[in-house]
Structure 1
Amino acid sequence: MMPDARRKKSAGIIVWLFVSDSMIPEIKDRKISRRIIMETNNYTVLLVDDEEEVTQIIMKKIDWEGMGFSVIGSASNGVKALELVEEYQPDVVMTDIRMPYMDGMELAGRIKAEFPTTKILLFTGFDEFEYAKEAVRLEVEEYILKPVNAPELTRVFSRVKAKLDQEISEKRNVEILQKYYTESLPLLQTNFYSTLIEGRIPEEELPKYLEDYQISFSGSCYCCLVIHTSASQVPEEMSPLLLAASVQKQVEERLVQKWQAKSFFYLGNMVLIAQLENENDVSEVTDECDRFCRYVRRIVGAVVTVGIGRVCHSVLELAQSYSGAREAVSYRGIYGAARAINIQEIVPQEPGKIDTEAEAELSNLLKAIRLGSAAEVQEAAEKYLKRIASPVNSLQQYQIHIMELVSALYRFLANNDISTGALSGDMKKLYNYLLELEPDTLQKWLTETGLSLRSQLISARSSSTKSYIRKAKEYVHSNYADETLSLDSICELLGVSNSYFSTTFKRETGKSFTTYLTDFRMEQASRMLIETNEKSYVIAKSVGYTDSNYFSYVFKRCFGVSPSKYRTEHTKE
């Protein structure tokens, strides 16, 4: 920082955001920081300031543990602070205003827009009216003038803690949850929504239902969300019923209003019918639901998985969307719970679902092939064949069952983009072949076929994921000079949500997309510094940085030295 800039900053501004590396765990160790958040019962605080010596003084003025707070880390500028807020969602952010790359006021605005429950404290060295007005607009908790003494700072955090205690108490208050649970949607509306997603509303009767039950569907398109709350992971102070009510309340507050959604309970899960402006909104829905899952786990201790179905343009098609959303929830065993799962992203083929009227055993077999283990496939095959070979069935019934099996398997191949060669390619020949088999031989064939299809699905899912990653890498290699290249732009290009792409990219490459992009740009910059005589600001622009100062900051963070020093060290003869 230049001397004149430091003088301007010390003259005053708002929130403190820094902690010495020697005083708290380094935020770079993500596993340690995450464990601190999960294990502590204290409220978490993130400090933001680019002057470490000032932060050390603030740290010594408060008994943080005694006040019921834990400092989880620090950041030296608003850009880094926003990354940490997105990952750890602290209860309180304490920030100065004047910092490089993103000042405290912009940081406060971004936090309030994306994480409205986070409390913000601003510090300043003088009483500047314009800052005070902006602080009021952003609904910051405190606007504090420097210097501040220990008693005053303690009183500030006492007031913040009292407000946080009150909000948590309201969310967990058993009487409020019980009352809210009884104020569910009217029975007639719930019955209508249930019947609608079952596909049992005749088209000609739909207008009368909507009029009689005072229901309005005004979206351009729609999609179903299935919200599954784990009943096996419940906080000690709550029953499963009250936990479900708590999740319902949070859904109403954070999701229903934003997407003008219809909400109701069906088969033990909460279901939303979201109304969208266009099909592309489903990516934003997915990201919002992913943030919601992490939020409710932290606030009320609920493990929630949100399944998101395909977008449809008519409410009469919601049965297909619901079927996809419910299937997406079942993938939590593969992709993990406490997150949003979009069926279009994990099963990107065109819709064409298995007949919902097929026997339960056949459905279970196909589900085991899609999601189960090898042992589950074998068990499902045995149960299905035992049922269709029951003595109570006539020969004609057995033949019909074999026909249904063949048809279901071919639909399964089509829905999952698997070549019909996996079943010899001819439905009639396969049907006749299976009718001639003895029970033991038929069971062996069905088990081996199921295991083969399971292996092909696993391989296809892996190939699909690797294809996304490969395309993203190739795009970075060709367009790293584009200053607008970001996680959002690459997801829009690929047509997937941020949450799904971020998870798969990090799982496959070991680093986030932003880190990968930065590392690649730095590699190109280091090569240009050695191989050319271009100025640093020219190289910065060539690798996607319009701000040469920020480029120098990122370069030094990556290589430990400034660009000029790097060039000197690597061009010595």
Structure 2
Amino acid sequence: MLKVLLVEDEFVVREGIKKIDWGTYGYEFCGEASDGELALPLIRKTMPDIVITDIKMPFMDGLELTRQIRREFPDMEIIILSGYEEFEYARDAISLGVSKYLSKPIGSSELIRELDDLKENIEQKKLEREMRLQYQKDMSEDVRSMRRAFFKDLVGGNLSVSQLIEEAEENEIDLVASAYCILLCNVSKGSLSADGDEKDVDSMYETLGEWSDKYGDDFLVFERDLDGVAILFKGADAESVRASVKKHSREFAEMMSKMDGVRFYAGIGSVAERVSEISKSFENASKAFAHRYFDPASRIVTYDPLMAEEDIIVSTDDRIPDVRHEDDKNIEFSAIDINDASRNMLLEYLRTGDETDVDYFVREYLDQVGGSALNSLLFRQYLVMDVYFTVAGFVTDLGFAKEDIEAPDSAMTIAQSIDGVRDFCIRIISAAMELRDSSSRNKYKDVAETAVAYIEEHYMDEDLSLNTLAEHVRFSPNHLSMIFSQQMGVTFSKYLIEYRIGKAKEALKCTSMKSSEIALEVGYRDPHYFSYMFKKITGQTPTQYREGK
């Protein structure tokens, strides 16, 4: 039933229109006001489908009310009801896009006829609006996937500024600002175990969604699969961006602290004053963020010393100088202990770390386990062997041979310098993580195949969703979305839609079923939405496709 609201300053006219038996004609009279100023809050509250308004009224006239309605509710239908027939009024009303311009006095039957004339158009527009919203909901996974891809391009440093701006516009992302800063963050249950991570990251996405709705002009949020999220702060200048980063990072940390047993970690990069410098901000944020592998506490770490405060510590890039000719007699080896805790730190990174952090991890790891002892050739040789055996053990546990990673040469030439040790560690840890990821891909291939089989068996169920599928394969929706996209080359939502439309095309060509019946058979309870989706995918209506047009 369509809702009608009346705005009329003449009491007699208003009472006459109110007395119409609106329900009999299929309408709901939802309110009245004597002028535009009183009408506007009532319109916001009742959200009528049609507003009938006089033109000449005190305080706010009908034309100004129309302007306000058009600004806030562009799909709302407006009927001007006026005793003035001057051309200027009609011209202004038409320019504002009113649906009808009627003269007073007007009888109830004539007014109902005019409303009925609009009814079909209103219902069609409402149906189209509902279908657009449903389509946006169905394709939200694709939107998230495209945003993730854009962020990788943004921080990858491989595209020109014009290409980045063009891609941002395609994704409806406002990238224009004078200063930027990247913040990387994630949450976990105490340690970085994958099972805990994916559930907590899903919760973080929900929390950040509420947060970004409130402060959307200050920053952009990008999901990074199981690596947490990246937040791109932007503003008018470096000072305002720094203030925004400090304010919001604390707010988010405080929200996360209310979740029981959750560890929150954030790394803040440097401020960039050009789009082309955002990749550098990301690189520095990654350096700060890499401290999470060594720091079990919840923490905000910044690369930018100007953001340092009591609860935001500074990450330093200071490293031990590379001394090639050392005197081992000056090293107190009794104080050096590469113990199980250190090895477990390395194993934890091998199991759950991001390969893009390997350089930062190795630098920090060598500093933590070695310190000044790295100046000793003897200690470096010992450290190289310890790292090698730890990594080799990890690789063999995955089912690979230890020969799949590089071994130190018999002369230990790689230990002749700190740089040599560092480069060797980076190489073998990177190789081990590549083997880890290939093992995961093989495991995830089975998950994707199970998911596809489930889709093929249940595609006719309208309630089939990423959540129900995730429950079936026992993964979180976010993790499953990542796995499915990587394995199948398309998102779950796109795969499901195309599979359903493919089945519909078969039925249209091979059976005499009605379009509405086919819609139900392929998982669409609403035949209108089925037709909408069919045309979106094929460029034709179901009828046109069946007739071969």
Q: Which is greater in Rg?
A: 2
TM-score, structure 1 as length reference: 0.39
TM-score (norm 2): 0.40
